[in-house]
Amino acid sequence: MTPDQWSAAFTARIAQGLRAARKAAGLTMAEVAQGCSDRGLPEFTEHSMKNLESGRKTSVTVADFVVLADVLGVPPVALLFPLGASATVEVLPGREVPTWEAVAWFTGELPMEEPAPEGSARDALDAFRVHGDLVTAALSSYALARERRRAASTTLDRARRATLLERADGYEEHAFEDAQELRTYRERMRQRGLTPPPLPDELAFVGLPDAPSDTEENE
């Protein structure tokens, strides 16, 4: 396949995914165009959609692509590579790879034999993924602690109540450690010149400065 053929085939694959997503969402082309207009892209019209789905339009801009994905409620990467529908895909001209590998390459999740060079784009992606994992761990620990305390408050069995409260204490200790690790990691990100993402409301306290101790207040 020549580069020109690959480009047309790539766009055709996106168009096929868009058509399938539109049908699955039960939307007409006019409704998709209206959705684009509502999102600030009025230039993508019903006629544009018809041309894209019919193959008359052999290219699509990044702006059109991401807005269409949002209108149709699908992850943009799922429109680029037919995960689950095709075992392999020509990710670049003359480069056929397993479809999941293409997705992982596009999202920066393809395993690397060595750590990403510091300051590289891949290094930044990895840092934000680690941050996401730490947020998930902290939320999970706090949720488990709350659930155990809730269960303890509703049981009439003294022994079970004691067990649940003991488990809640353990999860709260884990949650405290998770929150401390998250705060430390966010500070490390800032030292590297990265801006940590906003925290969920349940962990907003992690982003706040520590309250001064009694000794500091009296100095």
* Structure token digits, residue 89: 């895909």
- C-alpha–C-alpha distance, residues 187 and 132, integer Å: 15
* Verdict on whether the full-model pTM lies above 0.75: no
**Per-residue pLDDT tens digits of the chain, which is 219 residues long:** 677 788 888 999 999 999 999 999 999 999 999 999 999 999 999 999 999 999 898 889 999 999 999 999 999 999 999 888 889 999 999 899 999 999 999 988 877 777 788 888 888 999 999 999 999 999 999 999 999 989 999 989 999 989 989 988 998 999 999 999 999 999 999 999 999 999 999 999 998 875 443 434 444
User: Which one-letter amino acid corresponds to residue 168?
Assistant: A
DSSP letters spanning 11-29:
HHHHHHHHHHHHHHHT--H
Q: Whole-angstrom Cα distance, residue 201 to residue 207?
A: 10
d(CA 152, CA 133): 29
Q: Cα 212 vs. chain centroid, distance in angstroms?
A: 36
Q: Are strands 95-98 and 88-92 parallel, antiparallel or unpaired?
A: antiparallel
